[in-house]
Amino acid sequence: QLQLQESGPGLVKPSETLSLTCTVSGGSITRSSYYWDWIRQPPGKGLEWIGSVYYIGTTTHYNPSLKSRVTISLDTSKNQFSLMLSSVTAADTAVYYCARPGIWSGHSEVGAFDIWGQGTMVTVSS
């Protein structure tokens, strides 16, 4: 059974770069034509999609609201993908989830997130 696990610092100072890693276990990150995504949820608020990376690392998509500050990359040797978010402020305080949209209907992936990590809380504070 495929599982995702986020890791990284729980506290980041304002203006610094937030770095998180998602480790994929129970299967290879390059096994099939999946995207690998990051989603966040500020305390007591709703869900915001951050971006995604294709399974061979050639393609990324970012939320336009964060695009200038976000980098998502793949490390196939470690079966991991990572998130970097620069110039953070208190508004970036959130639970960060890695997730996979892995539901296919016919020949199309439908964009539903069927596998999620447990989430990791990141607080931006000096």
Partner 1 sequence: DIQMTQSPSSLSAFVGDRVTITCRASQSISTYLNWYQQKPGKAPNLLIYAASTLHSGVPSRFSGSGSGADFTLTISSLQPEDFATYYCQQSYDTPPTFGGGTKVEIK
Q: Binding residue for partner 1 (CB under 8 A) from 61, 69, 71, 86?
A: 61
Where are the strands (E) in 55-93, listed by range? Answer: 60-62, 70-75, 80-85
CA 76 from centroid of its chain's CA atoms: 15
- Site map for partner 1, 8-37, x if CB under 8 A? ------------------------------
Stretch of residues binding partner 1 (CB under 8 A), selected from 14-22, 24-32, 72-80, 103-111: 103-111
119 contacts 51 by C-beta, under 8 angstroms: no
| 56 near partner 1, judged by CB under 8 A | no
Whole-Å CA distances, 1 to 6, 26, 43:
17, 5, 29
Strands 11-12 and 120-124: parallel
- Decide if residue 43 touches partner 1 (CB under 8 A): no
Beta bridge partners of 108: 105
From 19, 48, 57, 79, residue interacting with partner 1 (rule: CB under 8 A): 48
- CA 44 to CA 18: how far, in whole Å? 21
Range in contact with partner 1 (rule: CB under 8 A) among 11-19, 25-33, 76-84, 96-104: 96-104
Residue in 64, 68, 77, 107 binding partner 1, rule: CB under 8 A: 64
> Two tokens at 55?
């399974």
Name the site residues for partner 1 (rule: CB under 8 A). Answer: 46-49, 61, 63-65, 97, 99, 101, 103, 105, 110-114, 116-119
